[in-house]
Structure formats: C-alpha cells, structure tokens
Amino acid sequence: MQRLGDAGGHGHARTRDGAGLLEVFPGAGDALAWLEADTFADPVFPRQISATSAAVSDLPADDRLRPLLASWQLPVSDALVETAEGDAHRALGKLTQRLTGPLKGVLQERALWRPGDPSAPRMHVTLDSGSRAWVGAAPLRHSSAFPGGIPRLRRLGGAPSRSALKLEEGLRWLVGESQRYLELRSGMTAADLGAAPGGWTWVLRQWGLGVFAVDNGALAPGLRADPDVVHVRADAFTWEPPRPLDWLVCDLVDKPARVVELMARWLRRGWARQALFNLKLPMRRRWAAVQDAERRFQRTLGAEAGRFGLRMRHLYHDREEVTAYAAPTSRN
C-alpha cells in the first residue's frame, strides 16, 4: 500500500490468515497499468505479482479453463498456473501442474499465444480452490517464470550446507540470470564474512572466485584443502582485506543495523565492488526493519551515498531474513 501511495494512488488491501496471499485493490486506475508503471517493481516480500480482475467462481471440474478465459483478449508470451503457499492452497499443487499444458492449448486456439514476444505479458492463473481462480497478467520484468516465484534450483550436491541455496537464489534474483555470468568470473576475489561451514564459499568457488572465508568456526574439509580458499579466523566486524576485492558476501547472524552498516563501510572504503548479504529480521515490523536498513545503508555510505543501490528480497530459501544486493547504481 505504501508503494501505491508513493506513486500517487490509493486503495485498500485484503489478506487472509496464513494464506500467503495479498489482494490489493487500487482505488483508481487499471491494475496492469500500475504494474507497467513499475509501482510494485522489485517487491521485497511478494514472490509473485499479477494484475487480475475479480476471481471467477463455480468453475466446473471438467473444464475450468474455458469459463475462466471467456473474456480474456490480451496476447501473452507465457502462461503459468499457480497458487499461494499457505496450508489452504498447498493441496492445489498437483492441479496447477495438470492445468498448465491445457492452458497454453486454449491460448493457442484463440491466437493469443506469443511465446518469445518480450512486449507481451505473462499470464497468471492463480487457483484459490479447485473451483475458484483469478486470471491476470504481469509484465515479464516484474514476474517470475517459476510458478509461485519458487525457483527450481538444481540440487547443490557437494555444498557443505543448505545455506548455499540462499546465495544461489540471491545471485539469480538480485544479480540476474545473465548478469551473474559477467559479475562472477574465474580469477575474481571475494570475502565471505561468517563463512563456516562454507556453503557460500563453496558457491563462489564453483564460479572460480578466490575466497577469504572469515569465521572462527571450522570450514568443511573440501574447502580446508582448497588452495584458493584462505580461512581467516577473525572477527568479521574488524577484519580488513589485504587488498580491494571484487565481492563481499555475508551471512552473519547479527543485528540487521550492524550488518548493513558493515557492508556500507566496505563499499565506501572501496574494499569490495559489490556485496550480497543476508539481514536477519525481527519477528515484528519487518517492513520497518527493511526501510531502516535502506536508510542506514545510504547514511553510512556518507560521501558515496547514491553511488550504490540496495535491493532486498525475501527469497524462497530465506527464513527469518531478507537477502540484499548492493552494487553501483549504474547497474543495480
């Protein structure tokens, strides 16, 4: 709602306990136009957003799609059937898979299927139950190609911890599917603050980066034997790198204010060119904590304020935290 207000709009929102689903009703203007105007760009907590009209109810079990799409006229370049994540919706997972192929078939029949057309939006069919659904659309740049925004990551066999998935997902979402091939190259260097047992260091090593792994705890045996991993037993808040590095990553469990200020100090001093890090959120007032982190980040940058942008996202593999990416504004 704050985003809508900042863009000069108004409206109201509705949620249901535990449903993982938020409906926003703009008081004026077309929902798709709000999305196209980037009003909800780069959301922190929602994993998927689409502009829909009212939900359609009483869909017959033997033909849900035709009545749902009866008045749909917009050509689309992709189409997903998905559902929210709460307990009430979890049982619908199989049905979303069964309907995806037929949905594309119906769109083809009606000459509304334009795969590969970057200007055509993605269609989102969101099941609320077996007989009720919303149909909507979102510009490709604001919507995930994965149903529900949940990435199907290849299993990271060999990674010393599940945390590795957080960095993998963060690199995809925040750095970008193609940009990460430019930003992570063999021969680059990184610091991993709070590295043990080494899931994040392991991901960086897969990309060929040399890593200073800073942690008093033990690293996994494979990383201990790796000549391109320097295990630094030190306090991450006071350790200084021997030379400027390409990357800073950080998975410290500490106050978000302390961590974000540490990241900004590194960037201000030129110790790293970009940073990807986790911020552990308090139980309550999480949006306020996110906004506080943004303010502290720019304040700590001092004379460098504005030169770096900060994007944050609550990833699928995150728990009580958000993942943040700080990079020069020319790119972020």
Ligand X SMILES: C[S@@+](CC[C@H](N)C(=O)[O-])C[C@H]1O[C@@H](n2cnc3c(N)ncnc32)[C@H](O)[C@@H]1O
DSSP string for residues in 58-70: ---TT--HHHHHT
Name 203's Cβ contacts closer than 8 Å, sequence gap at least 6: 156, 159, 164, 167, 168, 171
Nearest distance, CB of residue 163 and ligand X, angstroms = 3
Rounded Cα distance, 207 and 188, in Å: 9
Q: Which is nearer to ligand X, 21 or 219 (CB)?
A: 219
Residue 219 is a binding residue for ligand X (CB under 6 A)? no
Q: Which is nearer to ligand X, 195 or 263 (CB)?
A: 195
Of the listed pieces 141-149, 174-182, 246-254, 262-270, which binds ligand X according to CB under 6 A?
A: 246-254
Contact 107, 79 (CB under 8 A): yes
Rounded Cα distance, 247 and 277, in Å: 11
Residue 217 is a binding residue for ligand X (CB under 6 A)? yes
Q: Phi, psi (5° rounding) for residue 313?
A: -155, 140
Binders in 275-314 for ligand X, by CB under 6 A: none
Nearest distance, CB of residue 185 and ligand X, angstroms = 21
Contact 142, 40 (CB under 8 A): yes
Residue 194 is a binding residue for ligand X (CB under 6 A)? yes
Nearest distance, CB of residue 214 and ligand X, angstroms = 5
280 flagged as catalytic: yes
Residue 200 is a binding residue for ligand X (CB under 6 A)? yes
**List 77, 161, 179, 298, residue binding ligand X (CB under 6 A):** 161
**List 147, 148, 170, 197, residue binding ligand X (CB under 6 A):** 197
Q: Which is nearer to ligand X, 128 or 192 (CB)?
A: 192
Which residues of 154-226 form beta strands (DSSP E)? 189-193, 210-214
DSSP state of 106: H
x/- binding map, residues 41-80, to ligand X, per CB under 6 A? Answer: ----------------------------------------
Nearest distance, CB of residue 184 and ligand X, angstroms = 16
Nearest distance, CB of residue 218 and ligand X, angstroms = 9
- Give the number of residues written for the chain: 332
Burial of 207 (0-12, 13-18, 19+ CB in 10 A): middle
Burial of 75 (0-12, 13-18, 19+ CB in 10 A): middle
Q: Which is nearer to ligand X, 85 or 251 (CB)?
A: 251
Q: Which residues are catalytic?
A: 280
> By the criterion CB under 6 A, which residues form the site for ligand X?
160-161, 163-164, 194-200, 214-217, 235-237, 251-253
